[in-house]
Structure 1
Amino acid sequence: MPQIQMQTADQVRAFLDDNNPESFTLLDVRQKWEYEGDHIPGATLIPLVELPDRLHEVERDKQVIVYCASGGRSMAASNLLEGDGFPHITNMVGGIMSWNGLISFGPMELDLIGFTGKETSEEVLLKAYAMEANLQQFYLERADMAESLERIELFMELAGFEDRHKDTLFALYTKILGSEVDRDTFENAALESRGLAIEGGMAISAFLDRYPDAFDNDQGVLQLASMIEAQALDYYLRCAVRAEDEESRVVLKTLAREEKAHLKVLGKFMNKRDQ
C-alpha cells in the first residue's frame, strides 16, 4: 500500500532544488483564482473539486507533490491519489502559506474516515450513514448562519443530497441483513459508530472549535466542505473495491459518483469569490 509522505515547505523546496523538474509533478489543488493570485513556479493546477475526473492527467510513475493553501485540501487530494494507486505521493504541510513564510492554519492532515478494509458490509454502511449524518448537520448549521439567500439555498441543497444518501444506505443495510430493521434502531447504531466515522479525524464541530477563525466565512466553509466531500468520495471508492457482493459494489460506486457531483457544485460556488 502506498504511503503518503508529509513534508514541510522547506523540505519540498529542497527537493525541488535538487531534482529535475521532469522527474516529479507539483500539483496545486486550489481554485483557479487562487492559483492566478500566487503559485509555486512549475505547478500544475487541478482543483480538488475537479481531481476525481482528471486523475488521468497526473503521471503515475512520477513523484507527486501536492499543495493547497494550508494543507487540508492537499491531504484530501493525496488520499484520492493513494486510493487510486499512485505510488509516490507527498503532501506539503502548511500549504503555500508556509511556503511564503506565513503561519498556516487548519489540519496538517485529514485522516480517512475510520476505514481499515476489514469491516463487514454492515459496518461499512453504519460508518457511511454516520458520516452522511454528520455532514448533513454541518450543512444545516451553515444554512442557519448564511447571510444570503443564494448561500442558504446552496447549503440546503447539499443537506438534501445527504438525506437521499442516508435513505439509500438504510435500504441497502436492510437488504444485506435480509430482514426488516427499524429506522430508529439503525440510526442509533450508526450514531454509536460516529466516533469511528467522523470527518477529518474529529467531529466537524470540534474541528471548527479548534480553528475558529480559519473557516469563518463562506469561502472557508466551502473549502472545508470540499475536503469532507473528497474524503467521502475516497471512502466510497475504497469500500466499493472491497465490497463482498456486486449489489453493494454498485450502490457504493453510485454514491461515489454523486460525491463527485457534489464536488462540482462546491467548485462552482467557490469560484464565485466576489459574491
Structure 2
Amino acid sequence: MKTEEVGNALLETWSVDEVAEAFDRNEIVLIDVRTPQEYMFEHIEGALLMPMAFFKPEKLPGQGEKRIVFHCGSGVRSERVARAAIASGMARVAHMEGGFGGWKGSHKPYIGTNMATGAPTPIS
C-alpha cells in the first residue's frame, strides 16, 4: 500500500491483491466509480456503484466498521473521487491502483456479459 498525505488526511493506494484479500475477508466496501454502462458490462461481484459523475461524498457510509476503497477502469477516476472525498472532510481514503483493468489483468473473478445472450456471467 502506498500512502500520501493530503493536508490533514491520508490517501491510500491499494494494490489489486490487497483489495482482493480485504474484500474476501469482508473488511472493505468496494465502490465502483465507473459509468452505469461500464458496470453493467462487467464488474467486480459485490462492488457498489457510485459513478464519478454523480459522486456525493456526504452520502458515503462511515468507515467505522469497514474501510471504503474506490475503483474505476484504470485508477485515474478513483483517485479523483478519493481526493474529492478527502476535500469533503474524510480523513482516510483509499483507491485501487490499476482499477478494473488491473483486476482483470491479475485474473481475479468478476461478472462479465455473455455476448450471445446478454446475460451476466461469472468470469474467473
In structure 2, C-alpha distance between the alignment counterparts of 1:2 and 1:98, rounded to whole Å? 26
Q: Write 1 or 2 for the structure with the bigger share of strand.
A: 2
Correspondence for 2:19: 12
Q: Identify which of 40, 46, 52 aligns with 2:50.
A: 46
1:49, CA displacement in angstroms? 1.2
TM-score by length of 2: 0.71
Larger radius of gyration: 1
1 CA distance for matches of 2:87 and 2:72?
19
Distance 2:24 2:31 in 1: 16
Q: Per-residue displacement from partner, 1:217-261 (whole Å, max 9, x unpaired)?
A: xxxxxxxxxxxxxxxxxxxxxxxxxxxxxxxxxxxxxxxxxxxxx
Count of aligned pairs between the two proteins: 97
The 5 Å alignment of 1:125-136 reads none
Structure 2 gaps of 5+ residues are 1-7, 107-124
Residue 85 of structure 1 is aligned with which of 89, 96, 105? 89
Measured in 1, the distance between the counterparts of 2:50 and 2:94 equals 16
Q: Is the 8 A contact 1:27 1:66 kept in 2?
A: yes
Map of 1:59 onto structure 2: 61
The answer as to whether partners of 1:25 and 1:59 remain within 8 angstroms in 2 is: no
Quote the sequence identity (%). Answer: 29
| 1:2 pairs with one of 9, 24, 36 | 9
Distance in 2 of aligned mates of 1:99 and 1:73: 15
| Structure 1: tracts of 5 or more residues without a match | 103-275
Provide TM-score, normalisation by structure 1. Answer: 0.34
Write the distance in 2 (CA, Å) between the matches of 1:88 and 1:25: 14
Tell me if the contact between 1:7 and 1:91 (Cα under 8 Å) persists in the aligned partners. Answer: yes
CA distance in 2, matches of 1:94, 1:65: 13
Cα RMSD (Å): 1.5
